[in-house]
Structure 1
Amino acid sequence: MNGEAVKRGGSEVQRAARLSVAPMMDWTDRHCRFLHRQLSRHALLYTEMVTAPALVRGGALHLLDHAPEEHPVALQLGGSDPDELAQAARMGAEAGYGEINLNVGCPSDRVQSGTFGAVLMKEPGLVAECCAAMREAVHVEVTVKCRIGVDDQDPEEVLPEFLARVSAAGVRRFAIHARKAWLQGLSPKENRYIPPLDYDLVRRMRAVFPGLHLSVNGGISTLDATLAFLEEGFDGVMLGRAAYHQPADILCAVDRRVFGERGPDTTPEDAALAMLPYIETHLARGGRLHQVTRHMLGLFAGRPGARAWRRMLSEGAARPGAGPELVRAALAEVAPEHAA
């Protein structure tokens, strides 16, 4: 990628970070991202976390697969070895990702045993070293997604020190999940909603670090709430579960309401139809229908016929031979005029 292309890609990703869909394990795979891109042209999308050892030692380069249509899209890496992360970042940049993000927020047991994810909140110096090595290896932006602290840490002390040390290594953009992670006593699922949210602490970090781009993450479930955070001065908002389970509610109006594009807004009906050629290509390459449609179950959440849509796809997509005709049949339950 030439320097001008890198520059253009970087500015695109930075603008897109005004609203992003969080990296989520087992959810934000390439099929999910392709669906989300049918709903918003501009929102920043993230991969699932890909571990640096899997790429560098395991040679699992298929984990970097993505379609050009997914852009702007960022790669999230997990790891704690600076040299290994630098190599993995280089692989990601060469694969075409416009941003490399380091995971300092995932609380799973597997992540802890590998000494990366949220446990790295305890080692800001190591995170800074990792980020410096990654920045040295690539021309695309290196960013960090973190928590406000872990376990018995005092977030009021931990978060500003973390941001100071990591930004000193050249990182200018952070997505902050406004909750602690409890590495002992809570499951990864519980860590997504039990620790109390502290948006005010993240607000204060905006004043302490005015030169940083700070996105707030955690517990944000509507587009109206997203806009409220942006209007009060946050640089960006990152949404997770709401964007996955009710993607149309979050993403259909994003290009107009967040990025200032003129309408019309996208629709879930048009997104479902746009997925049909993608599904045909996926099946022709030996894929299975449910690998794609499992991400489409919430597309019509709250709409008449949504239950039938979910049921038909859930029950039928894993059957041998299932194909685009099942999606058309399910679409007839919510939008008969689009299903012909």
Structure 2
Amino acid sequence: MSVPSPLPPLPTIALSVAPMMDWTDSHCRVFHRLLAPHARLYTEMVHANAVIHGDRDRLLAMDPVEHPVALQLGGSEPQPLAQAARIGAERGFDEINLNCGCPSDRVQAGRFGACLMREPGLVAESVAAMIEAVSTLETPVPVTVKCRLGVDDDHRYEVFRDFVEQVAAAGCRMFVVHARNAWLKGLSPKENREVPPLRYDWAYALKRERPELAVIVNGGIATQEEATAHLEHADGAMLGRAAYHDPYLLHRLDVAWFGGELRSRGALLRALRPYVEGQLARGVFLKHITRHLLGLFHGERGGRAFRQVLSEGAHRPGADWSLVEAALAATEHKEQAAA
């Protein structure tokens, strides 16, 4: 296996939002970009064969405001992954990320995702092919890996470190580490995000031993304080479910880390209006957008009213921006009543 030519230096990615199946579609990412102008966003995982043979306009849908945004690929065959990586780079994605962490049954049946933690040589070969495929473009993009600490009951740091060493030798210089093992049997994907113990110290140790690699910590990060603490030991923090269920957390982090004005939830949401109305004019149903907004008032008085108005009305024929204003009005009414 030949090591491809070095790519340009990686940008600093302190804040990012994890790729999440059925959640981080283009509508979600546009909303998250509004909340966090400096965050790196990720697509849902797309299998390499789907990119090559499927409906690319749908699978690789991206609004220009999303940048910087990464395409996450699934697969275990070097050449299709390389072809899909080049297609993604040509489509304008700023990073191509290989999934080595998803533990779902469908992923296991296809021998990719978390299964690849047991095949570092194959991952290295795939990464090298992907890097070579994008390196000849006018603007090369980085190829990165999102991985677990290991699979099942393998709790040896040396095995994890060997995985990273082999993949890094193939040219990968950024690893997003979901700091848990993945259990391939006996746990659901949801349980795999909660049951295996977190070992952030493994990601920290990796960064100490390989300071030239970018190491992003993922898994179980639920508060601003937790996310900020990771920056003392790693290059960045990637938020998953917390960013989706409490999206205002993204805004607070972006302002705290990068500066700017902390805007109210209502002001941020109203800034999304041109995008929503543009999508409605193209025939998109409001429910496909508002499902990503439901957590905006998480933990706030009036949050339940906000969710209820949107949930009950967004699926109705003709639902438009006026429903969002109604949800905001219901929320503001609850807030004023409590004042």
**TM-score (norm. length: structure 2):** 0.92
Secondary structure at the residue paired with 1:140? coil
Contact 2:244–2:295, Cα closer than 8 Å, also in 1: yes
Contact 1:24–1:48, Cα closer than 8 Å, also in 2: yes
Match of 1:4? Answer: none
Match of 1:275? Answer: 272
Match of 1:326? Answer: 323
| Matches of 1:174 and 1:314, distance apart in 2 | 37
Contact 1:55–1:61, Cα closer than 8 Å, also in 2: no
Match of 2:309? Answer: 312
Contact 1:174–1:215, Cα closer than 8 Å, also in 2: yes
Cα offset, 1:255, TM superposition: 2.8
Cα offset, 1:335, TM superposition: 3.5
Contact 1:105–1:146, Cα closer than 8 Å, also in 2: yes
Alignment of 1:119-268 (within 5 A): 119-138=115-134, 139-230=140-231, 232-248=232-248, 250-259=249-258, 261=259, 263-268=260-265
Cα offset, 1:161, TM superposition: 0.4
Secondary structure at the residue paired with 2:132? helix
Match of 2:288? Answer: 291
Change in CA separation of 1:270 and 1:155 when aligned onto 2, cut-off 3 Å: farther
| Matches of 2:147 and 2:202, distance apart in 1 | 14
| Matches of 2:218 and 2:194, distance apart in 1 | 12
Match of 1:23? Answer: 19
Contact 2:203–2:234, Cα closer than 8 Å, also in 1: no
Cα offset, 1:265, TM superposition: 1.7
Please tell me the residue identity of whatever aligns with 2:160: L
| Matches of 1:310 and 1:280, distance apart in 2 | 20
2:110 pairs with 1:111 = no
Match of 1:98? Answer: 94
Contact 1:74–1:97, Cα closer than 8 Å, also in 2: yes
Q: How many residues end up aligned between the 2 structures?
A: 322
CA deviation profile, 1:15-55 (whole Å, cap 9, x unmatched): 3x211000000011000001111111101111000110101
CA deviation profile, 1:240-272 (whole Å, cap 9, x unmatched): 000110010x2122333222x2x3123321221
CA RMSD of aligned residues (A): 1.4
Cα offset, 1:59, TM superposition: 4.4
Match of 1:78? Answer: 74
Secondary structure at the residue paired with 2:21? coil
Secondary structure at the residue paired with 2:274? helix
Secondary structure at the residue paired with 2:319? coil
Superposed structure 1 runs of 4+ greater than 3 Å apart: none
| Matches of 1:237 and 1:77, distance apart in 2 | 20
CA deviation profile, 1:57-87 (whole Å, cap 9, x unmatched): 3344421111110111111000111110111
| Matches of 1:312 and 1:305, distance apart in 2 | 11
Secondary structure at the residue paired with 1:234? coil
Contact 1:35–1:271, Cα closer than 8 Å, also in 2: no
| Matches of 1:67 and 1:313, distance apart in 2 | 24
Match of 2:28? Answer: 32
Change in CA separation of 1:61 and 1:153 when aligned onto 2, cut-off 3 Å: farther
- Percent identity, aligned pairs only, is 58
| Matches of 1:135 and 1:90, distance apart in 2 | 9
Cα offset, 1:274, TM superposition: 1.6
Match of 2:137? Answer: none
Please tell me the residue identity of whatever aligns with 1:277: P
Please tell me the residue identity of whatever aligns with 1:304: R
| Matches of 1:61 and 1:80, distance apart in 2 | 23
Secondary structure at the residue paired with 2:293? coil
Match of 1:3? Answer: none
Deviates more, 1:290-299 or 1:203-212: 203-212
**Gaps (5+ residues) in structure 2?**
1-6, 135-139, 334-339
Contact 1:253–1:266, Cα closer than 8 Å, also in 2: no
Please tell me the residue identity of whatever aligns with 1:255: D
